[in-house]
Structure 1
Amino acid sequence: MTAWRGPQCMTSTPRWKSSSFVSWCKRDDRTNRKSLMQVPMLENTVSGITLLSLLAGVLLGVVWVGLLWKVRANSRAEALDSAKRENEELRSQTQKDVKQLAIFNERVQQIPELETKLEQANQQRETAQSDLKALKVQLESEQKAAQEKDQFLEKAKAELNTQFENLANKIFEDKSGKFIQKNEEQLSGLLNPLRERMKEFQEKVEKIHDDELKGRSSLQTELKQLLELNTTLSKDAQNLASALKGDSKQQGDWGEFVLETFLQNTGLRKDVNYFVQEQSVSEEGARLRPDIMVKLPNNRSLVIDSKVSLTAYIRYANAPDEAERTKAAQAHVQSVRTHLASLSSKNYQDLYKEQGDLDFVLLFMPLEPALLLALSKDEKLFTEAYNKNILLVNPSTLLLALRIVANLWRQELQAQNVRDIADRGAKLYDKFYGFVEDFEKIGSRLEQAGESYQSALGKLSKGSGNLIRQAELLRELGVKPKKVLPAEFTDRTEAEPE
């Protein structure tokens, strides 16, 4: 009996169904039959037992083969189920990969457009940064120029003040030094005609005396001529004194006229830079009316009052001897002091304190030799006036002071222009900063708008169930709209997967 080797795993056909197994069974059966025919009848019992054993072995083999086939069938079913599950998972993953690939392709198609927008945005940003840099450079240049101009103006102002002080001192020294010489020249101009006439008179007297010896007949004629000459000299001297003296009202009007003429010649404007006879009331209730009130930059003021002292000065000029001149000079100094006291008592500083600081009050004496005489006779006069915030000025020094005032106004106008330029530059920078902020916000809003547009466009024409596709399906199903969507939208609409 041939030994059975058992099942061969992982085969498609069971062992007991194979042709070899059937052949084996048939061959074994023939062999058994032949053996039975040859065994004697006495051995029937043993043969029956042997046959039963053979049949039991065959039955056991069949059972074993069936069990093996069942085990193999169960293994194949489990493998098939596992393969199906793997196939389903692979299919699901493949669908996900296809969707991801479609999304990726869509984004890849948008890359050139996004790159173009990004490049345009970068160019705009670079242009804006370049413009901002240029404006910053321009602003720094303007601020630097304004600062340099302020420094120049301050330096020029200091130099002008120094030059004014030096020039005023120089003029004062020159005038004081030349006063005596000029006074002598003026006195000589007044006395020389009289001296010449006296000399002529003396000559005539001598001639008359000589002629008297020659004849007394011509004496009456000579005396008549002498009387006429004396009358003429007295009349000329009286006319000169009247012209210099006048009355106080005429002297004051003449001084104010000279003062306002100087103001107009320096370029100052009436009722803008200076005010004439402006009446004001002090805290004590007194009515004050200075001749001129000059406005200065930085809310400051300058009062000018004209004073004419001629009476004592004319006596000094016409004094016959040194004693009379000394007495007349003292009277002239006292007259100037009286003017100083009167001007100081008006307290113009308190009157104009609400309008700004009042630096000095100028006492203007239009007759320059008269002021120089007073200063030469009393050296403390100028210092005392200065301590009372009063400056004694003549036409030369007043003209210089008014020129400086006009220059101060021009400098103030230039400084105001510089301040306006700096203020406008600062406002321009602030406006530009706000513009840059708004520009950045606009860029951000544009980016958000682009993203919103792409999102809305995706919902409209892309993806499964997009609005355009749904609307077209409704039209295909029989809906009859009055209007049809443009082809540029329907052509690029993604169709729904079947």
Structure 2
Amino acid sequence: MEQIIIGVLAFTIGVILCSVFWKLKIDVKNSEIKNILEQKEQINNNSINLKETFANIASDALKNNNESFLTLANEKMSNYQNQAKSDLEKRHVEIQKLINPAIETIKAIDNRIEIFDKDRIRSQTSTYEQMNVLIKETSDLSKALRAPNLRGAWGEMQLRRVVEIAGMMKFCDFVEQKVFSDDDSRIIPDLVVNMAGGKNIVVDAKTPMDAYIKSIESEDKKIKENYISQHIKNTRDHVNSLSSKKYWDQFPDSPELVVMFIPIESVYMSVLDNDSSLLEWASNKNVIIASPLSLLALLKSFAVGWREESMAENAKQISDLGRELYERLSVFTEHFGSIGTTLGRTVDAYNKAVSSFQSRVFVTAKKFKEINIIDQNDNDLELKQIDKVAKKIEKD
């Protein structure tokens, strides 16, 4: 029992001693921590003071530097501004020198544009007026082409115009509205073209326009096709009519054909576009269908034939004139040769007279100087003989 109590006391005393030991150790640690905290606080305070000190120093230095910098910057800026102002003025003058010609050019261009605008307005006004006139004339022509009599006269007028362009008027190689008669009726072609060599070709103007105009005015495709078919039929009827008249029988040695002239290209082309066999079919009937362009080419070829014949006639005339000129030159050379012969005899007589003068008359006259009757300075009497003779004209 005593041992237990002693053990408990010993344990208690040990616990108390441990507690005291750890308390002392904790106190020491707390004291160290307190010192450390105080040192930290002191360091923080010192750091704040240093920051404030450095801030004040930096502020003072920055302020001084800013003032110096601003002063220097103002000086530099003032110099730069003055220099820039001077450079700007120089550049302004130089740019002005460069711009002035451009400004003058722009002004001139503006003036030209203004003139062009005025001209354009006048031109447009004139164009509109001409278009109105053209529209009116086209309308009048369209109305005229609906009347058979006016349409025929217009076709003949176009035919005459093509002949004039081809140059056939100059050679007077056509006769309009020439009437030929056969046993049954009177044949009246529009034009008879007289070709070189005495041959002739008849040209008759036809204007199958009614169905063509209606086909253009129609908007219905089926109706348009019907009018085109009627237009082709009308053209073929004209071909048959011309073929049956046999104009070529009135002109011996002339080609067996007649030219059917359609005075409007579009009418001519509309037939060919829808009837490709028409030209061949008409040709088999001795009828040549011609538009203004194709007739112009045909008449041009006739004009070439006339020019070639004219050149051949001129060549013959030149040959005859050359032969006549040669004969006249031959007679002239004979007469001129006679003059040369006469001149030769005259020269011989002259030389004989000079020789007689020198040997007989001059010798006696010279003695007057020898006896001083005539001044010594007077010119001597002297005649020279002619040693040249007239050349003879030789004929080959």
Please say whether Structure 1 and Structure 2 have the same fold, judged by a TM-score greater than 0.5: no
> Please, what TM-score do these two structures have when normalized by structure 2?
0.45
> Please, what TM-score do these two structures have when normalized by structure 1?
0.36
RCO comparison, higher one (Cα < 8 Å, 6+): 1
